[in-house]
C-alpha cells in the first residue's frame, strides 16, 4: 500500500555525497543541481495542482471504462485533438449513436456516463467488446482502443486487437495470498518470457509458466524473476518492445487473473518479480495502439521528427505533457497495485535520456557527453520522478533496474543526492566482451588484464547487474553462449555415451567458468535468460513471415536438461549450485550499502580512487581502514597472470576464487594470496563429476594458510588448479 499522498523531495540535493565518491562530478554540479531543480518543481506542481503524487499516479482509477457500485458506467478519455468521441460495442451492436457520445470537459478530457438498465443490471457486462470512435478535425470517424484498457484480444480472423471489458464477478477475481517479499540484499535474476517457456511449438500460458517453470527457478535458487513481453504488443515477434496497450497484460498467454496467480505463487517462494516496462517508445499502430489516438500526430507523443524513433520505427513520448506523465506514472502504479509486481526493469533508457537516442554514439566516457546539450532533461526527469514515486510509496520492496549502455553518471544514485534513483544498472558491456572473445580470439590469446578490467570497470557507487548473456544475445542473428562455444557438435556429442569431443569438453568447461567469473567479479547482482543456465542451443526466433511462422526456435527445450543421458543437466547443476553458493555467502551484497555510506566514512577511504582498487601504501591505521573497506564493499584481484592464464581474487572475508583458463596447462602447488588467515575447503569446483568435469580435485583436501604475504595479501596457500577449471575456496574455521 502507498505510504503518504504527497512526498516532497529535499529542497536541495545532497551533491556532496556524489562528489565524495567521484570528484569529477564537481565540475558539473550546476547541471546536476539544475536537473534536480526541474524535478523538484515538477513534484511541487503535482502536489499543488493535482492533490498529491498519490492521486496523480492513479489515473487508471479515473480514466478508462469503469462500472460504479450502482452498475452505471463512466468512461473518461484524454483526446485533446478530437472533435467528438463515441463509445460502441456489443452492447449496442457497434452502432455510433449520439446517446453514447462523450461530453467535452476542460484540458482535452472527455466523459460519458451510462445509467444501468431498467432491471438494475449493467449495460456493459464482463467480456463485452468495446470500441472508441473519434471524430477527427479532418472529419472522418476513426476507431480506436482505449489507452487504459485492461484486456485486449485479437480475433483469429484479422490481426488487430480489440478491447474487451474486464470486470469479472468477485468469485472469479484472483485473491492474493502472499505479501511482497522483502527486497533481496542482492538480485539473482531469472529473465523470462512466458510465451517461449514451453518445449512445445506454441505460445505458452501464464498457467503453464506457474506450474512448470517457477518450480525450476525455485530449484535453481534465483531470487528474482524478470517478466518480459507482458505489456500487450500486437506483433509477437517484437519480443514485447512495440507496446500497443500499456495497461493490458498480454492476452495471448491467458487472462489477467492468471498473471496475478503467477506473481502470487512466485511470492509464496519468496521470489521477487520485476516487470520489463517499455516507457521509452510505443508502437506506431493506430487502430489498436496509441499512435494518432485523437486524430493528431501528437497527443501522447512529440510531433514532428522528435516524436519518431527512426531505427525502431516507433513513436516517442512527450515527457513534458502533464497527461503523458500521468499516463506513464499511473501505468507503473497499476502494475504494482493490481498485479503486485515488485519493481521494474526500464527498457531503452539510453534512447530516452539522449536527443540522439544513443544512435551513432560510442560514449567514450568523457563527462561532457553526459552533462551537455545532448542529454534530454525532460526524459531524465521523468525517470527521476518515476523512481522517486516508486521508492517513496513502496520502500520495503521496490527495485528498479535501468538498461543504459552509455554509463550515464548518477543514474544509479539516490534521487535525494541528485541522481536518477535506479537501484541497479545492467552491465551491458560484459556479454559483448564474451561474445567478441569467442568470435575473434583463441583461448591462449585471451588477455586476462582486459577481461578483469571489463568485469570491474563500473561506477563503484552504482550497483550493477552482471551477466554473460541475456535475451539480446539469444535472438536470431546471434547465438547463445553455448552455441558459440559448441555449435554443431551440440547435435551429435551431448550424449554421455557419445565419443569424446574436444569441442564439447572445452565448451562445457568455459560455459561454467565464464558464468562464475562474471557473477564473482562483474557486479552486485546477476542475471541469466530462461534456458541458458543449461546451455540452451541455437538461437531465439519468433514465428514470422521470414521463417514461415515457425515456433521451432520460439520455445525452451526442457527435454534436453531433463534427459539424464544428455550433458545439459551438468551445466544446469553447476548453475544451480553457483546460485545457491552465492545465496549462502552473499558476496554480491558485499557492496550494497555503499551508496548509503556517510561522507566522513568515505573521506577516510579517499585514497582509494583507482578502478583497480589497488591498496596505497599508508599508515597501519589507514591500511586497516582500507582493508575493512575492501572486505565490505569490493572484491580484490590478487593475481592476473597472462602467461599462466590464472586469475585469483577474493570477495568478502571468507571466499577465494581461482580460475585457470589455460587450454592445456595444469598447475600443482600453485601459490596464491589469501586475505584472511585460516583453513579453507573447496565449496565449488567446475571440474566436479556432477558438473560433467573430469573430477581431478580431491574435495577432502584442506588448505591452510601461511603467514608470509603474497600478491598484496597478508598470507598465502598452495592449490592444485587443473586446466580450464575454476574453484571457490571458503574459510571453514
Rounded Cα distance, 558 and 200, in Å: 10
DSSP-assigned letter for residue 164: E
Distant-in-sequence contacts of 295-304, Cβ < 8 A, 24+ apart: 295/81, 295/82, 295/83, 295/134, 295/135, 295/136, 295/137, 295/138, 295/142, 296/80, 296/81, 296/136, 296/137, 298/81, 299/79, 299/80, 299/81, 300/147, 300/324, 300/327
Measured in whole angstroms, the distance separating CA 429 from the mean position of its chain's CA atoms is 15
Asked whether the beta carbons of 349 and 277 are under 8 A apart, the reply is no
Asked whether the beta carbons of 437 and 517 are under 8 A apart, the reply is no
Joined grid coordinates for residue 167: 470486470
Burial class for 145, CB neighbours closer than 10 Å (0-12, 13-18, 19+): buried
Q: In what order do the strands lie in the sheet with 109-114?
A: 64-67, 73-78, 109-114, 103-104
Q: Is 403 a catalytic residue?
A: yes
Asked whether the beta carbons of 385 and 43 are under 8 A apart, the reply is yes
Q: Which position has the grid cell 548473456?
A: 469
Q: Which position has the grid cell 572445452?
A: 506
Catalytic-role residue among 232, 294, 403, 404: 403
Residues 6+ positions from 180 with CB-CB distance below 8 Å: 267, 340, 342, 394, 396, 397
Rounded Cα distance, 295 and 521, in Å: 52
Catalytic-role residue among 191, 261, 347, 582: 347
Rounded Cα distance, 393 and 398, in Å: 9
**Count of other CB atoms within 10 angstroms of residue 310:** 9
Measured in whole angstroms, the distance separating CA 382 from the mean position of its chain's CA atoms is 18
Active-site residue numbers? 347, 403
Amino acid at each position: 500500500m502507498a505510504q503518504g499522498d504527497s512526498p516532497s523531495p529535499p529542497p536541495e540535493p545532497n551533491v556532496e555525497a556524489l562528489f565524495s565518491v567521484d570528484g569529477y562530478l564537481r565540475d558539473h554540479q550546476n547541471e546536476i543541481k539544475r536537473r534536480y531543480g526541474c524535478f523538484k518543481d515538477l513534484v511541487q506542481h503535482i502536489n499543488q495542482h493535482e492533490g498529491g503524487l498519490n492521486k496523480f499516479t492513479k489515473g487508471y482509477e479515473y480514466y478508462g471504462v469503469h462500472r460504479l457500485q450502482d452498475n452505471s458506467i463512466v468512461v473518461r478519455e484524454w483526446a485533446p485533438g478530437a472533435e467528438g468521441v463515441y463509445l460502441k460495442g456489443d452492447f449496442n451492436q457497434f452502432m455510433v449513436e449520439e446517446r453514447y457520445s462523450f461530453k467535452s470537459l476542460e484540458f482535452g478530457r472527455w466523459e460519458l456516463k451510462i445509467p444501468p438498465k431498467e432491471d438494475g443490471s449493467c449495460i456493459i457486462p464482463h467480456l463485452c467488446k468495446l470500441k472508441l470512435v473519434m471524430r477527427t478535425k479532418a472529419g472522418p470517424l476513426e476507431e480506436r482502443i482505449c489507452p487504459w484498457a485492461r484486456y485486449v484480444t485479437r480475433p483469429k480472423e484479422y490481426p488487430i486487437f480489440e478491447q474487451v471489458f474486464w470486470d469479472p464477478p468477485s468469485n472469479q477475481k484472483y485473491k492474493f495470498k502472499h505479501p511482497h517479499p522483502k527486497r533481496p540484499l542482492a538480485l539473482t535474476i531469472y529473465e523470462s518470457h512466458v510465451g517461449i517457456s514451453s518445449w512445445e511449438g506454441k505460445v505458452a500460458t501464464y498457467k503453464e509458466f506457474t506450474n512448470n517453470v517457477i518450480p525450476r527457478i525455485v530449484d535453481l535458487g534465483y531470487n528474482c524473476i524478470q517478466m518480459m513481453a507482458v505489456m500487450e504488443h500486437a506483433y509477437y515477434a517484437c519480443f514485447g518492445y512495440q507496446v500497443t496497450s500499456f495497461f493490458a497484460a498480454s492476452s495471448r498467454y491467458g487472462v489477467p487473473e492468471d498473471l496475478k496467480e503467477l506473481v502470487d505463487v512466485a511470492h509464496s517462494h519468496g521470489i521477487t518479480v520485476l516487470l520489463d516496462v517499455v516507457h521509452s517508445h510505443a508502437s506506431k499502430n493506430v487502430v489498436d495502439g496509441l499512435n494518432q489516438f485523437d486524430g493528431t500526430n501528437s497527443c501522447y507523443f512529440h510531433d514532428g521528427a522528435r516524436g519518431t524513433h527512426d531505427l525502431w520505427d516507433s513513436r516517442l513520448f512527450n515527457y513534458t505533457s502533464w497527461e503523458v506523465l500521468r499516463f506513464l506514472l499511473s501505468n507503473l502504479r497499476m502494475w504494482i497495485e493490481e498485479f503486485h509486481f515488485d519493481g521494474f526493469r526500464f527498457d531503452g533508457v539510453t534512447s530516452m535520456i539522449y536527443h540522439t537516442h544513443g544512435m551513432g554514439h560510442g560514449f567514450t566516457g568523457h563527462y561532457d557527453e553526459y552533462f551537455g546539450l545532448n542529454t534530454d532533461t525532460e526524459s531524465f526527469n521523468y525517470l527521476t520522478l518515476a523512481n522517486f514515486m516508486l521508492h517513496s510509496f513502496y520502500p520495503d520492496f521496490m527495485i528498479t533496474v535501468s538498461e543504459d549502455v552509455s554509463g550515464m553518471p548518477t543514474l544509479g544514485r539516490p534521487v535525494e543526492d541528485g541522481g536518477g534513483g535506479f537501484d541497479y544498472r545492467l552491465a551491458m558491456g560484459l556479454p559483448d566482451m564474451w561474445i567478441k572473445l569467442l568470435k575473434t580470439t583463441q583461448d591462449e590469446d585471451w588477455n586476462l588484464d582486459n577481461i578483469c578490467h571489463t568485469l570491474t570497470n563500473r561506477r563503484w557507487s552504482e550497483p550493477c547487474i552482471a551477466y554473460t548473456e541475456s535475451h539480446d544475445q539469444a535472438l536470431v542473428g546471434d547465438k547463445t553462449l553455448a552455441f558459440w562455444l559448441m555449435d554443431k557438435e551440440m547435435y551429435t556429442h551431448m550424449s554421455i555415451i557419445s565419443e569424446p569431443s574436444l569441442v564439447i569438453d572445452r565448451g562445457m568447461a568455459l560455459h561454467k567458468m565464464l558464468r562464475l567469473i562474471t557473477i564473482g567479479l562483474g557486479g552486485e547482482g546477476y542475471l541469466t535468460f530462461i534456458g541458458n543456465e543449461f546451455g540452451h542451443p541455437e538461437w531465439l526466433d519468433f514465428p514470422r513471415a521470414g521463417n514461415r511462422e515457425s515456433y521451432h526456435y520460439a520455445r525452451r527445450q526442457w527435454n534436453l536438461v531433463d534427459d539424464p543421458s544428455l550433458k545439459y543437466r551438468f551445466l544446469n547443476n553447476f548453475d544451480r549450485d553457483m546460485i545457491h553458493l552465492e545465496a549462502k555467502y552473499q558476496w554480491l551484497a558485499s557492496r550494497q550499502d555503499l551508496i548509503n555510506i556517510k561522507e566522513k566514512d568515505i573521506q577516510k577511504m579517499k585514497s582509494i580512487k583507482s578502478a583497480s582498487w589497488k591498496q596505497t601504501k599508508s599508515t597501519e591505521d589507514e591500511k586497516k581502514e582500507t582493508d575493512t573497506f575492501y572486505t565490505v564493499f569490493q572484491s580484490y584481484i590478487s593475481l592476473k597472470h597472462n602467461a599462466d592464464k590464472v586469475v585469483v581474487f577474493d570477495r568478502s572475508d571468507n571466499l577465494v576464487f581461482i580460475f585457470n583458463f589455460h587450454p592445456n596447462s595444469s598447475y600443482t602447488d600453485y601459490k596464491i594470496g589469501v586475505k584472511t588467515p585460516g583453513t579453507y575447503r573447496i565449496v565449488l569446483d567446475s571440474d566436479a563429476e556432477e558438473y560433467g568435469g573430469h573430477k581431478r580435485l580431491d574435495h577432502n583436501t584442506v588448505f591452510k594458510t601461511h603467514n608470509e604475504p603474497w600478491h598484496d595479501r597478508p598470507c598465502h596457500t598452495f592449490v592444485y588448479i587443473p586446466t580450464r577449471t575454476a574453484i571457490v575456496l571458503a574459510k571453514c574455521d
